[in-house]
Amino acid sequence: MSIFIDENICNGCKGLPEARCERICPGNLCYRKENMKATIRDQSACWTCACCVKECPVQAIELRLPFQACSNGASLKARLKRDKTIWTVWDAGGHQEEFIIQAKYMKGNW
Amino acid sequence: MGTIHIDTDILIIGGGAAGCFAAVEIYKKSPNCRVVIMEKAHIERSGCLAMGLNAINAYLHSGQTPESYVSYVEQEFEGVIRKDLVYTIAQGLNEAVKDVEEMGLPIEKNEDGTYKKRGKRSIRIFGERLKPILAEAVTKTNARVLNRVVATDFIYNGEHICGVFGYGIKDSKFYVVRAKAVIVATGGASGLYRPNNTGESRHLTWYCPWNAGTGYAMGIRAGAEMTGFESRFIALRVKDVHAPTGTIAVGVHSKQINARGEDYLELYYKHLGGNKCFTQHRLLATVEETKAGRGPCYLDTTTLNDADERRLKEDFLNMNPQIILLWASEGMNPRKKPVEIQGTEPFVVGGHCQAGYWIDKERRTTLKGLYAAGEVAGGAPKKYVSGTWVEARIAATTALEDIKGVFLEDIDSGLIQNEKTRVSAPLTKKSGISPLEVRERLQKIMDEYAGGISMNYALHEERLLEARRLLKGLKGRLKDIAAINNYNLVEALECIDRVDVARILVEHLIYRKETRWACYQTRLDYPKKEDSRWLTFVNSVYNAKTDEIRMIERPLSNEYLY
């Protein structure tokens, strides 16, 4: 598994023509099911780029590594702020680490 | 399948680093020029910049000159480069970086406001949002972006390129976009060779798995002259997650060590330059260590301090979040265990190596009306993202000049119908070969007969001739490819493109009968570099009517100096 979408948290981006993860996935892999929950059509086609993880406004999506690549379990979530990205990583034991990284220089002229 | 007709002045294929930059450049120079960008995914996060980027590796620090940059690239690429192209790139690097900083890209700086030196030609950026920043700049222009439309082929009347055919993944429409000039700015080709990771993690690759070489394939089918395909690129990366090793080696100065803990570059590969060796030799040494039984090889991160470790993790979150997961599963600490490294499968990319369209200094391809920039533009290796921006600027400037007095061409309806039939054919078949089957077949052939991972990247005539034969056979079977839905259809079209690219690649590998670039192009039957014979460009032109590939040699003449 490359991404895990928690259906209890996913609100399907109701009101939008398509879910945000669906809009952003560079592989065109995410889509909204009939129950308005987002899903991924093929886990094995996922690049684990985390674009959907970052884009989800309710943090319903976790990045994981496929079991073949890593069997120990760990997950990663992200929140986008206007000029920074906040990452939370959980290790196999459930310990948590947070990173706040500048992502955009707001005085841009363009 | 409905058809959408669009007319524009300049059409850009691929909304990546080059495509976005070209659109902005056109707008700055000529705000009334009509521009369309055809983009396979969504411009905000498409292609190889989707994950972000933590460094710009082509930048001229104080004291460096375009001349010194050309000389560095010439050395690393064993003399075979288009100096005129590399020089024009080097001239524009710093200005392009400044422009993107203005768009909003954070760059690490010294107190005096200059960019902090990360490596000799490199600066550290906080580029997690580099792609959205570029896309946002495009929204401030008049460019019309066609998201989720895949380019399928050029509209070519035999004299010049009149536009592009496309297929809408979401709307299932067929697109006919007419243009006075077309800039091809797509990515390179991944998925040609069997990757390290398979099964559920088959797309856990270094290079973007949706960069299928379509920009190359369309040019090949139209008969554009291509160069340097035999200059494959193989990246040395963190095992399994393919995180860039440069972030560790350059960013925090970790050494490459073998399983015995030896600084193997210095100990066994001093003749290649030791720790100062070329990029390709870092890979070669790692492959050789494994063959000698001294693998696996690592980057020694165990000597890092707290601050370095934090910095390293931040850099990776900006570019390759997977390695953070790998470390998290090991207890969050890269200092506990050195990071294992290995080579990826080979790729065809013009940004690191030099596969691509044969172009003139102004970025015109050999097909009239078609310009190339970035990954698909050949002859100028090590351009990386900043060089891609410069190339986009040059191509945009040339296209703007060239379209003066040019009119849109009427498109023959037969041409439209033929392409529509070709594109939709996989959807009309109830049964047939699946894209998955084609992909696996292609990757097996390339891996085993054209120097993939299982062959330690090595090549020789007999195997390459077998690859040629098998690929011709595979090409013949593609008419039976079947797709069950739109998504699957795009996969099928990608397979067709990849086979066309792979066939050209194999011809180039057969043709160059020497060993010019270690691992990228190692011939077991011609193990020496022969400057007296092979200081030359190997080019090719495909004839779609006869299915013949004509090889052309272009000498390193004065024409290509600066």
Tell whether B253 is within 8 A of chain A (Cβ): no
Q: Which domain does A49 fall in, by range?
A: 3-102
Residues 1-60 of A with CB under 8 A from B: 1-2, 23-28, 41, 43-51, 53, 55
- B105, B148, B332 ranked by CB distance to A105: nearest: B105
Three-state secondary structure call for residue B414: helix
How far, in Å, CA of A96 to CA of B364, rounded? 52
Distances (CA, A) of B8 to A56, B4, B36, B308, B368: 35, 13, 6, 50, 17
Q: Which CATH architecture has domain B236-343?
A: Alpha-Beta Complex (3.90)
| 8 A C-beta contact, residue B341 and residue B239 | yes
Q: What values do phi and psi take at B181, rounded to 5? A: -145, 145
Residue A108 placed within a domain = no
Tell whether A87 is within 8 A of chain B (Cβ): yes
Tell whether A93 is within 8 A of chain B (Cβ): yes
Read off the tokens for B465.
Answer: 């001739």
B455-460 long-range contacts (CB < 8 A, ≥24 apart) are: B456/B287, B456/B291, B457/B234, B457/B287, B457/B343, B457/B346, B457/B519, B457/B520, B457/B522, B458/B522, B458/B523, B458/B524, B459/B509, B459/B521, B459/B522, B459/B523, B459/B524, B460/B523, B460/B524, B460/B525
Asked if B47's CB is within 8 angstroms of A103's CB, the reply is no
Chain B residue numbers with beta carbons less than 8 Å from the beta carbon of A45 are 202-203, 209
> In terms of Cα–Cα distance, which of B504, B430, B502, B510 is closest to B464?
B510
pLDDT confidence of residue A69? 87
| 8 A C-beta contact, residue B9 and residue B35 | yes
Please report how many Cα atoms fall inside a 13 Å half-sphere around the Cα of residue B443, on the Cβ side: 22
- B203, B314, B487 ranked by CB distance to A41: nearest: B487
ipTM score above 0.85: yes
- Amino acid at position B280, single letter: Q
Residue A7 placed within a domain = yes
Q: How far is B517 from chain A (nearest CA, A)?
A: 29
- Is A109's pLDDT higher than 70? no
Domains B3-233+346-413 and B236-343 belong to one CATH topology: no
Chain B residue numbers with beta carbons less than 8 Å from the beta carbon of A75 are 325, 328
Q: How far is B137 from chain A (nearest CA, A)?
A: 6
Residue A95 placed within a domain = yes
Residue A107 placed within a domain = no
Residue A32 placed within a domain = yes
Residue A110 placed within a domain = no
Residue B34 neighbours by CB under 8 Å, 6+ apart: B7, B8, B9, B10, B142, B144
How far, in Å, CA of B444 to CA of B430, rounded? 26
How far, in Å, CA of B17 to CA of B90, rounded? 17
pLDDT confidence of residue B553? 97
Domain ranges of chain B: 3-233+346-413, 236-343, 422-532
Q: What values do phi and psi take at B144, rounded to 5? A: -95, 125
Test the B interface: residue of A30, A71, A91, A100 with most B CBs within 10 Å: A91
Residues 455-474 of B with CB under 8 A from A: none
Percent over 70 (pLDDT), chain A:
96
Asked if B241's CB is within 8 angstroms of A89's CB, the reply is no
How far, in Å, CA of B23 to CA of B444, rounded? 39
pLDDT confidence of residue B562? 67
Distances (CA, A) of B185 to B9, B15, B37, B371: 16, 7, 10, 9
The correct CATH number of B422-532 out of 1.20.58.100, 3.40.50.1000, 3.40.640.10, 1.10.20.10 is 1.20.58.100
pLDDT, one tens digit per residue, over A34-79 is 999 999 999 999 999 999 999 999 999 999 999 988 888 899 999 9
Asked if A69's CB is within 8 angstroms of B208's CB, the reply is no
Task: Give the pTM.
Answer: 0.97
> In terms of Cα–Cα distance, which of B260, B263, B230, B236 is closest to B248?
B236
Instruction: Give chain A's mean pLDDT.
Output: 93
How far, in Å, CA of B416 to CA of A97, rounded? 55
Q: How far is A8 from chain B (nearest CA, A)?
A: 23
Total domains in chain A come to 1
Asked if B210's CB is within 8 angstroms of A27's CB, the reply is yes
Chain A residue numbers with beta carbons less than 8 Å from the beta carbon of B332 are 89, 91, 95, 97
Read off the tokens for B121.
Answer: 């030609």
Asked if B209's CB is within 8 angstroms of A45's CB, the reply is yes
| 8 A C-beta contact, residue B243 and residue B342 | no
Asked if A110's CB is within 8 angstroms of B140's CB, the reply is yes
- A41, A76, A108 ranked by CB distance to B325: nearest: A76
Bridge partners, B522 (sequence order): B458
Residues (pLDDT < 70) of chain B are: 332, 562
Distances (CA, A) of A44 to A16, A50, B202, B237, B450: 27, 14, 6, 21, 25
Residue A23 placed within a domain = yes
CATH of the domain at A89: 3.30.70.20
Q: Which strands make up the sheet holding A84-90, listed edge to edge?
A: A3-5, A61-63, A75-80, A84-90, A96-102
How far, in Å, CA of A89 to CA of B86, rounded? 41
Distances (CA, A) of B369 to B36, B154, B401, B502, B539: 15, 11, 11, 26, 20
- The domain B3-233+346-413 having CATH identifier 3.30.420.40: the answer here is no
The count of other CB atoms within 10 Å of the CB of residue B273 is 13
Chain B residue numbers with beta carbons less than 8 Å from the beta carbon of A87 are 317, 321, 324
Chain B residue numbers with beta carbons less than 8 Å from the beta carbon of A32 are none
Residue A81 placed within a domain = yes
Residue with tokens 């039939």: B421
> In terms of Cα–Cα distance, which of B348, B278, B345 is closest to B508?
B348
Asked if A106's CB is within 8 angstroms of B329's CB, the reply is no
Burial class from Cβ neighbours inside 10 Å (0-12, 13-18, 19+) for residue B261 reads exposed
Chain B residue numbers with beta carbons less than 8 Å from the beta carbon of A48 are 203-204, 321-322
> Which letter does DSSP use for residue B107 in this model?
B
